[in-house]
Structure formats: C-alpha cells, structure tokens
Chains A and B, each alone.
Chain A
Amino acid sequence: MTNPPGETTPATPSAPGALSRRGGVGRRLLRNLVAVVCLTVLALLVLATVFAPLLTSHSPTRPSLLDTFASPGAAHPLGGDSVGRDVLARLLYGGRVSLLGAFLAVAVALLIGVPTGLVSGYYRGWVDAAFSWVASLVMAAPAIMVLLVAIAAIGPDANAAMTVLGVILAPGVFRLVRASVTSVREELYVDAAHVSGLNDLRIVRRHILPVVQAPTIIQAAQMFGVAVVIQAGIEFLGLGSASEASWGAMLNEAFANLYIEPTLLVAPGVAIVVTVASVGLLANALRDTLLEGGHAAPARRLRRTKTPDSPPADSPVRDDDGDALLTVRNLRVSYPTSDGEATVVDGVSLSVRHGEVVGLVGESGSGKSQTAFSVLGLLPPEARREAEGLSFGGKDLRRLGGKAMSGLRGRRIAYVPQEPMSNLDPSFRIGSQLADPMRLHLKISAGEARKRALALLERVGIDRPERVYDAYPHQISGGMAQRVLIAGAVSCDPDLLIADEPTTALDVTVQAEVLDLLRELQRERRMGMILVTHNFGVVADICDHVLVMRSGKVVESAPVGQLFANPHHAYTRMLLASTLEDAPTRTPLDDGTPARTTVQEKA
C-alpha cells in the first residue's frame, strides 16, 4: 500500500499472490471511495491535533470561572465546560492524548505479536506450544480486569495502561501472524528456498513477511479502533492522567454534569465515534483491497423473485404425449453476470413417461444438472428460468407457488444428489432426516415413520438399519450415505426420481451396487427417472432414452439402442469414442471422502 500509483513493483517470483498484488494496491485503495473518505477524515483529525495551537488560542487546562458552561459562540466555538475550560481546545489537545495512547497500544501489540508469531509459526515445536499457551491465557482474561489490576499496581497513568493494553492485544496479532506463517510454510516455494540454501532470516523476509503483511495491517487498524475506545474508557473511569485533557476525561466531566449540561457529551462522543468508525471502515476497505485482490465482491442485490419465470399468457400447455409424466419444452436457464446474462440451459425439451428412464448425458458444464434443478424448482435465487412448457402430472410447474412446489417435492418428485456426504445435514441423526419428510408428507406418526425408515434402510441394502438410523452422517461411509439418500428419495413413493450423477463420487465397486439398487427400485415402483450422468456405461445399463447435451443445448435425443448403434451427432460420437478408449472412465475415489464439495454445477 506504500507504492505510489503508477510504479510497478519488480516482479518477484517468490511469494505468488502476495508481492505480485502489491503493485496497484495504493491505487486501488484510492479508487475505493470509502477508503478515501476515511483516510481523509483520519488525516484531518491527526493534523488538527498536531496543529492544535494554531487552531485555538485557549489552553485546554486553564479554568475560567466566567466561562463556566459558556454557550458556543465567538469566544468559545464549542462552549465552555463546568470550570470554564474551552471545549474546542480540550477536544483538540485531548485528541493528542487519545490518539497517541491508541497508537502506543497498537505499536506494543505489533512489537510483541509479530516477532513471536513469526518464531512460533516458523520454528513450531515447544516454542510454539509455550507462546500459544501464554496467548490463550491472556486472551481469556477480561481486558478491563487486567487493566484495572495494572493500574492498581502501577498507579493511574494512561500511557502505562495503554502499554498494558498493547500486551493484552498482542495475542490476537500473534495468532494471526502464526496462522499466516503456518499456511505459507507448507507451500512448496518455502521448501525450495530452504533447499537452495537461503538462511531462515532471508526466507522470513523474502517469502513470509509479504504474506503476513496484509492481514496484520488490517488487524492493526481494527486494534486502533479498540484502543481508542478503551483509552477513553480508562480516562472516563478517572483512572488516567487527571491533569491532561483527553476525550475520555471530557466524557467523565460531561457525565458529572449530566443533569446540568448534557450537551457536553456531544463533542467527545462524536470525536470518538468518528475516529473509530473511520478506522473500522478503513479496515474493511483494506481487507477488500489487500485480501481480495481489489475485486470488490460482486454486489448481489438481486431479490428472490417469487415467480422467476413468467409463462407467456397465450401458450396453453399441451402435452404432445398423453402418457407423459413430465414435459419440458424449450427450457432456458440464465444467470446475471457482470456483463449481461450467461445462459446455461438453452432451449432444452424433454419428456419422461411413467416407468421410463431418461438419461441426460454431457460433459460437466453442459447444463445437465441445471436442467434437473429447473424441474425440481431448486435453482439458486439469482437464476432465471423460462420455459414454453413445464408440466408434471398435468400440473403447470411454472404456475405453482413455493408452498405447492414444496408439497410436490419429496412427495411426487424426488431427488438423489451427487455427493453423498455433503447432502446429509451433519447435525442431525440419519433417522430423523429420513423420518421427517415422511411424517410431513404422509401424515404418519413418529413410530410409524421410524418403522418405515428402518424398512427402507433394509431395502436399500444396509445391514444393521438400527445402527445407521441412530448414527450421524460423519459416522457412515460414502456408499452407505448414498444408500440413505436413495432411501430418502423413494420414501414417499414418488412418481419421478431425478438422480444427479448418483454414482460419480463413489468407489467403483459401490458404483455398480448403487446403480443396481436404483434400477431395481425404479422397476419395482414404476418410477419415471431422469438420470444425469457423463458415463455412457451407466446410460447403456439403465436408460431407455438418452439426451446428449453440450453447452446448454440438446444435440441429440434418441432411444438408447439407436444412440449406441447409430449416433448422429459428431459430439455424441466423440463422447462414445472417448468412453470406449479409456474405459473405465472413473478413477476410484476413497470411500467416504467426498472428492470436492460442489456448490452447484454452473456453466
């Protein structure tokens, strides 16, 4: 942040992402309106206190009986206090004491916290253990209590108290620095520096300090605000240096005369709030600029629209296929981006009959999952869904309100997700997560729901249903979790099951079992099913009809036999070829460890 605008830092290939960002930080900060305003306010405050003698001819401490509680006027711009001292002079000179005190505390905190944090994070071992223990000890003590003990021992002296405050704040700096160092230390380039023979001091200076810098600056700003408040608190309690003017002492004086002249609170109160608010907002602006690389988080001011899609009034829903359970015609899903809209599903049409399995195939990002979520009505709030036709069991899904849709979901349309482990609520037992929807939809008693849930767990091939029923999600394996999710999906006997890559995150052997289970359940209950996958092996196994998707569009739609025998589209041929070449397509994942936590599959 010290670099003048326009000057580019020579590219140092050492700490990626830290030094390389420094170049434009000063300029970026200046482009941030809030930061500019805060910096200006703080600079004016500091200048005003430094040049206090130029701004007022009054003394902050000389009483004048004539000016007791003087009204603001030419002689005293902010009036006089209970012994006739000039309020403006006290505010300006008092600012010196308050700001210097806060500065002292921050300096002490950094002087203690940064070196200990560096040593602790860099060398670890017993030094780290010892420092960390002391830090947690100091952090657990109420700050005011420590300050009071210190004042009791040392006597009333604001600067001594602020030094002690610095010691109290130091563990916060220590922890932050230590955490930053620990995370960089794991990086490869630090190892590389070690190997290339750089000594510890140079490694710390070249590779570690740059990473520690940004968070520490932000924390220093936050601590400064805290210190101003505590400094004022100490003075307010009358535990500071009584002879000097300070904002806290002014508050104390105003408090003593609360019934006579409450307006005396205003000047020091405003001074404190403006200072602390400026520092706090500056810290936020610094965080946006230093840590997020200057890209202010996109302001999401989108409202959750009640009806994201407005069906054209003059388009009667006609079912091409009288037997169809689900009909989707010309579905479009788009997301607002910084430059217009990104369309992730573009004109998809499909239909699913009772007992039919429709495969949605395509590479990731082709809009398969987005199509599935559109049918479920579970797109993120910022998504826009439009369709010429979207009907399920004769109901127009576009016209259903949130409540009616909730009544349909789980009861008639069910969903099996991709990542088993991240799709169970970690805080609730498996059993309650299975029983809850059944009690809700089927209006059955808790006991009956439990009985059915246990039967379902047994049906999906879980050996000891009672044990799993009472377990928490983290206590079961990924394959078991996927069985639980399938049990949950079919628990209310749905007509349509939407399975979003139900086997992708599973071990190869488990994949086959889960797929078998899905097919059995589908046949047994004559469910319609949409199976989202990118695995043609799965398609061949289970699907009746296949839609091949690419970049949000359906490039080919055909019965499964026809598609494999005679693929029309070049893309389909390519996908098929790649499947055959490097089969098996999936590399097995460890059972139970989710490979990644997908938030959603977006274009």
Chain B
Amino acid sequence: MLTFLLRRVAAGLVLLYVLATAAFAMMSLTGTDAVRNISGNTATPAQVAAKTHELGLDRPWISQYGSWLGHAVRGDFGVSWFSGDPVAASLALKVPVTLSVVVAGLILATALSIVLGVAAAVRRGWLDRVVQVLAILGYAVPSFLAALALSVIVAVKLRWLPATGYVPFAVSPSGWFQSITLPAVSLSIGVIAATAQQVRGSAIDVLRQDFVRTLRSRGISERRVLFRHVLRNAAPPALTVLSLQFIGLVGGAVITEKVFGLPGVGSAAVTASTNGDTPLVMGVVVYLVFIVVAVNLLVDVAYGWLNPKVRVR
C-alpha cells in the first residue's frame, strides 16, 4: 500500500510538472499581446521594448522557463504583471474560498448521491424514475445556469441568502456557511446526478450478488446488509465517478465564483486569462492541478480502504 501510494505521489508530481511546463510553453508562444496590454495602446515601440526587457520576455524561452521553474519549486510564482501583487500571496487568500465551495459541494453531493442511489436501487418504482430524470436534468442544466437560477430565486427574489460575496470562516462561521451554501448547492447538482446514477447501478449489481443472499440467509437485517455490505461493495465504482466529477467541479467553480461574486481562484483565473498575465495564470495552473492531484490521492487511499484486493498486495 505504501509503495502504491508513493507511486501515485510520484505520478501526481509528474502530472503537475508536465502540465505546468505545457502551460508555460503555451503562454510563452504568444507573449507580446500582454506587453501591449500592460503598456497601453499609446505606448511607443521603445516603451514596449523596455517593458518586454523588464519582464524578461526578450530572453530565450528556455531561460525564462528555467528561472520560472527555479522559483516555482521554492513556492515563488513571481508578481502579477498587472497588479504587481506577489502571485503566491494573493492565491493563498483565494484558495480557501474555492476550496470551501468545492469541498462543501463535494460533501453535499456525496451524501445525497449515496442516499438517492441506494434508495433508488432498493425501492425502484417512482424513486428510481426520479433519480433517472435527475440524471438527465443534471446533465442538461449546466452548473452556472443552476447558479444563476438559484441566485435569482433564493437570493434576489426571496432574499434568504446573500447573492454575492464571501465571508471567511474565521470572521463569522455562520456568515461563511451562508456565503458558500448557494455556490456549493449549484455545483453539486450535476455531480449528484452523475454519481447517484452510478451508486444506483452498482448497488443493483451488488444486490444481485450471491453473497448478499448468503448474508440474508444468516439472518443479517436488511438495513445492515444494505448499509454495511452492499454500500461498501458498491462504493469503488461510485468513487471513480466522483473523482472524475471532482475535476469538473473545480472547473464549474470558475464560473460559479463569477455568478456569486466570490474572490476565489476561478475569478483570478478568468482575469489573468483575459489579460494574458503569465505569472498569475501559471500560479493558478499549479494550484488547481495540485488540488486535483491531492484529491486523486485521497481517492486512492479511500480505494485501498474500501477494496482489500488493492490494499493487501
């Protein structure tokens, strides 16, 4: 298990490195527009050249890349070309916002997917059809559309929850909870749709297994059979779907943050991307990929816990 995990950590680091390098290459291939954006339309060629030199963009690509990498491994992602703020420091403020929303959405989605999926598998009938319809709806209603609808109905019309803004947990736990509820709910809808469907499918598969009948033949109560044995065996495939959905969740957060005016990584990414702000874009890439890698690692650990065949090897 330990070597397995170490291998996964190594694979994650390779992924991080390759994606960061690819992103850096892409950004560098077209760097001139950014200088024009920073300097403004009225800048003389001389001013543009000076700015280009100041940002080090006149150096060979490999040297730019080398110095970025050298600093990045030490956690220094440079300063934003536009705001002049250190990237690492400003992202350190934004990551908790995004993580709050994404993790809350993930927890909500996991809990509801399990309940809905298992209930649909056992009861079938109308509940089953509700889950099927939900799966189609979750696929058809993009999370940002759900976010917009929730924002209009719950926040603007009913005024139950704030429409925009973020309150750090340290400032007010209840304010924090209120500020992330709508974003988390709108993010979770699509995940619930996909995952509940998977939980339902694999629970039905497990319920057909011989050992379930044997467990029942031992007089084990139906509830215990379901929640101890069936769920445990149905979990690994559901976990795979959940981890794939998580990557989508991080993407969905980018748009959801805009709808709810949250100062997270996503908003920073959009701004950086529009401006062509290479240091900030690179910082966002590294942070987001890091989060994805970390979650995949957690999924691997959970996998090993759930499936003894992975663990004992």
Contact across chains for B217 and A144 when beta carbons are under 8 A apart: no
Given A259-B156, A262-B156, residue A145 in contact with residue B217 (CB < 8 A)? no
Q: Residue B281 contacts which of A148, A265, A419, A472 (CB distance < 8 angstroms)? A: A148
Docked CA distance A150–B19 (Å): 12
B258 in the interface (beta carbon within 8 A): yes
Digitize B158-201: 1 where CB-to-A-CB distance is under 8 Å, 0 elsewhere.
00000000000000000000000000000000000000000000
Q: Residue B137 contacts which of A153, A236, A277, A599 (CB distance < 8 angstroms)? A: A277
A276 in the interface (beta carbon within 8 A): yes
Among B220, B284, B292, the one with the most A-chain Cβ atoms within 10 Å of its Cβ is B220
Distance (whole angstroms) from the CB of A496 to the closest CB of chain B: 12
Given A280-B140, A424-B211, residue A409 in contact with residue B250 (CB < 8 A)? no
Contact across chains for A414 and B156 when beta carbons are under 8 A apart: no
B219 in the interface (beta carbon within 8 A): yes
A597 in the interface (beta carbon within 8 A): yes
Digitize A260-274: 1 where CB-to-B-CB distance is under 8 Å, 0 elsewhere.
001001000100110
In the complex formed, the residue of B with least CB distance to A255 is B148
A154 in the interface (beta carbon within 8 A): yes
- B residues 124-153 in Cβ contact with A at 8 Å: 124-125, 136-137, 139-142, 144-145, 148-149, 151-152
B57 in the interface (beta carbon within 8 A): no
Contact across chains for A155 and B219 when beta carbons are under 8 A apart: no
B278: A residues at CB distance < 8 A: 152
B33 in the interface (beta carbon within 8 A): yes
Contact across chains for A153 and B30 when beta carbons are under 8 A apart: yes
Contact across chains for B136 and A423 when beta carbons are under 8 A apart: no
Chain B residues within 8 Å of chain A by Cβ, number: 73
Given A409-B216, A411-B219, A437-B218, residue A425 in contact with residue B233 (CB < 8 A)? yes
Given A137-B19, A141-B289, A425-B211, residue A378 in contact with residue B255 (CB < 8 A)? no
Contact across chains for B219 and A277 when beta carbons are under 8 A apart: no
Contact across chains for A255 and B220 when beta carbons are under 8 A apart: no
Q: Which of A107-115, A400-408, A522-530 contacts B (4 or more CB under 8 A)?
A: A400-408
Contact across chains for B270 and A239 when beta carbons are under 8 A apart: yes
Digitize B57-98: 1 where CB-to-A-CB distance is under 8 Å, 0 elsewhere.
000000000000000000000000000000000000000000
Contact across chains for B269 and A148 when beta carbons are under 8 A apart: yes
A233: B residues at CB distance < 8 A: 142, 144, 255
Given A402-B222, A411-B219, A423-B210, residue A152 in contact with residue B272 (CB < 8 A)? yes
A455 in the interface (beta carbon within 8 A): no
A254: B residues at CB distance < 8 A: 148
Contact across chains for A409 and B140 when beta carbons are under 8 A apart: no
Q: Residue A425 contacts which of B229, B252, B255 (CB distance < 8 angstroms)? A: B229
B interface majority secondary structure = helix
Docked CA distance A254–B288 (Å): 29
Contact across chains for A152 and B273 when beta carbons are under 8 A apart: yes
Q: Which of B39-47, B103-111, B112-120, B304-312 contacts A (4 or more CB under 8 A)?
A: B304-312
Contact across chains for A417 and B269 when beta carbons are under 8 A apart: no
Contact across chains for A427 and B137 when beta carbons are under 8 A apart: no
Contact across chains for A436 and B220 when beta carbons are under 8 A apart: yes
Q: Residue B292 contacts which of A140, A152, A304, A373 (CB distance < 8 angstroms)? A: A140
Contact across chains for B232 and A269 when beta carbons are under 8 A apart: no
Given A145-B269, A239-B273, residue A419 in contact with residue B229 (CB < 8 A)? no
Docked CA distance A410–B216 (Å): 8
Contact across chains for A148 and B254 when beta carbons are under 8 A apart: yes
Contact across chains for B208 and A599 when beta carbons are under 8 A apart: yes
A156 in the interface (beta carbon within 8 A): yes
Distance (whole angstroms) from the CB of B114 to the closest CB of chain A: 16
Contact across chains for A427 and B218 when beta carbons are under 8 A apart: no
Q: Residue B136 contacts which of A239, A280, A441 (CB distance < 8 angstroms)? A: A280
A141: B residues at CB distance < 8 A: 19, 247, 289, 292
Contact across chains for A410 and B219 when beta carbons are under 8 A apart: yes
Docked CA distance A369–B299 (Å): 41
A258: B residues at CB distance < 8 A: 148, 151-152, 156
B214: A residues at CB distance < 8 A: 415, 417, 423-424, 485
Q: Residue A156 contacts which of B18, B144, B274 (CB distance < 8 angstroms)? A: B274
In the complex formed, the residue of B with least CB distance to A379 is B213
Contact across chains for A303 and B19 when beta carbons are under 8 A apart: no
Contact across chains for A238 and B274 when beta carbons are under 8 A apart: yes
A142 in the interface (beta carbon within 8 A): yes
- A residues 150-195 in Cβ contact with B at 8 Å: 150-156
Docked CA distance A82–B23 (Å): 37
Docked CA distance A365–B79 (Å): 75
Distance (whole angstroms) from the CB of B137 to the closest CB of chain A: 7
A519 in the interface (beta carbon within 8 A): no
Q: Residue B308 contacts which of A137, A142, A410, A427 (CB distance < 8 angstroms)? A: A427
A75: B residues at CB distance < 8 A: none
Contact across chains for B217 and A419 when beta carbons are under 8 A apart: no
Given A141-B289, A425-B229, A437-B218, residue A419 in contact with residue B136 (CB < 8 A)? no
B151: A residues at CB distance < 8 A: 258
B27 in the interface (beta carbon within 8 A): yes
A-B contact pairs, 18 of them (CB 8 A): A140-B19, A141-B19, A143-B251, A145-B289, A148-B270, A148-B281, A152-B277, A153-B29, A154-B30, A232-B142, A269-B145, A273-B140, A273-B141, A300-B124, A414-B217, A417-B213, A423-B211, A427-B229
Nearest 9 Cβ contacts at the A-B interface: A410-B219, A144-B251, A415-B217, A277-B140, A410-B218, A437-B218, A152-B273, A148-B273, A276-B140
A residues at B contact (CB < 8 Å): 137, 140-145, 148-156, 225, 229, 232-233, 236-239, 251, 254-255, 258-259, 262, 265, 269, 272-273, 276-277, 280-281, 284, 300-304, 373, 376, 378, 402-403, 406-411, 414-415, 417, 419, 422-429, 436-437, 440-441, 472, 474-475, 485, 488, 597-599
